[in-house]
Amino acid sequence: MRKLILLATLALAAAVMPSALASAAPAPAASPATTAAAPTAAQLLAKTNSCKQISNGKYKTDEDVSSKTVAICDANGAVFWKADMDIDCDGQRSSQCNEDTDCCYQDDTAFHQSDGKPLNAAKLPYIVVPSSSSIWKYSSSQLKGGGSCAVIYNGKVEYAVIGDTGPSQIIGEASYATAKDLGINPDPSNGGTDSGVTYICFKNSKVSPIENHGNAVSTGQNLATTFVNNN
């Protein structure tokens, strides 16, 4: 009888145990939330159709042109302009950027890496803003070195930093790496493009460290999303 009772007890326990174990087992991990996609080039450009001009006059795109055609436009959280792209190869020497490849090469940039060295134009996507003048002072628009910008060309978006300053009367310049990533000829002697580039720079932004392009992309995508939502 004891054996029968024991066998019955074991059988009952065996029947109950799987359901008990199932209830005690941890629930399957929830799928990670889907990250919102960054704005497309078209979505960003749609927010730059009209210009609330804040520059005192306009800029030339090159030294050898007489007409001034580029205005600085204000928006919620950003300023933008539409221009050409000349190639900036200043900063650290490389096989792409040096005195032999660029007639106007300078071994320094206005803003430096976290280790104090100039930026590397061949590797780091950055843009050039005009030096402060009576036309416009970039600092008055809450822009600064290392600030985040979206550069748009031919359906592509490149996130870059403000890395250098240029002539006070000319606008439309970016690093070798910026041009290359956008499919623009990056050669400092014969590269660039004459038109079709939109630069959107986000106010009160900063990528740290300035030389970390991954941080520039993540920061820029977040700010671009806010820009699209708020304009």
Amino acid at 168: S
Q: Pick out the chain residues at pLDDT < 70.
A: 1-36
pLDDT tens digit sequence for 47-70: 999 999 999 999 999 998 989 999
In tens, the pLDDT along 192-212 reads 999 999 999 999 999 999 999
The SS3 call for residue 39 is coil
Three-state secondary-structure class, residue 140: helix
Sequential DSSP letters for 147-211: -EEEEEETTEEEEEEEEEEE-TTB--EEEHHHHHHTT----TTT--EEEEEEEEEETT---SSTT
On the 0-12 / 13-18 / 19+ scale of CB atoms within 10 A, 178 is buried
pLDDT score recorded for residue 37: 87
Tell me the whole-structure pTM to 2 decimals.
0.84
Looking up tokens 């079709």 gives 196
pLDDT value at residue 1: 38
One-letter amino acid at 121 equals A
CA distances from 75 to 37, 67, 101, 118, 214 (A): 22, 25, 38, 31, 26
pLDDT (0 to 100) of residue 36: 65
